[in-house]
Amino acid sequence: MAKLNVADLIRDLRTNAGPDLCRAGFLERSRRRAAYPGEQGLPLLGVGSSCGKPAFALPYLLTWTDENTRALEALARRYRSHVTYGHLAHLRHTATGKELAAIQDWTPFGVVYLRAEYDHAAELLRDLVDTLNPQDAPSGQERTTP
């Protein structure tokens, strides 16, 4: 049971966001975020602008299929969650309704936004990477960095 290592940084970034017009604070937060080494070998892309969750690049192209959405739904159940589908696939905790993760396929690589302070975030990130990994990706679709 582990939160993401980035949880303390994200909490600090949220707490010290300061006024909207504070350029110096913005630059310091950007520097700290850029210096973060990532999680489980996945680069930290930044923090979601609307959700405030850290965003990590998946090491492969993500294309939604019937197979991987069913696998995502099975994974969600293991985390006492369910999947909602909109522009992104979201994992929501069934008892609390809190969004635990959002998975994006809009870019040349998949992106996972994850609630850093969730008690099982590290395990969920690992399991999302494994579950969504295309088993038979055409050559050239594998990526190690964005």
Which residues, at least 6 apart from 134, have a Cβ–Cβ distance to it below 8 Å? 60, 61, 62, 63, 68, 141
Which residues, at least 6 apart from 127, have a Cβ–Cβ distance to it below 8 Å? 75, 78
Which residues, at least 6 apart from 106, have a Cβ–Cβ distance to it below 8 Å? none
Identify residue 104 by its one-letter amino acid code: Q
Per-residue pLDDT tens, the chain, 146 aa: give them. Answer: 578 888 888 887 777 666 666 788 888 888 888 888 889 999 988 887 666 789 999 999 999 999 999 999 999 999 999 999 998 999 999 999 999 999 999 878 899 999 999 999 999 999 999 999 997 544 444 444 34
| Digit-coded pLDDT (tens) for 111-123 | 999 999 999 999 9
SS3 128: helix
Instruction: Say which DSSP state 57 is in.
Output: E
Q: Report the residue count for the chain.
A: 146
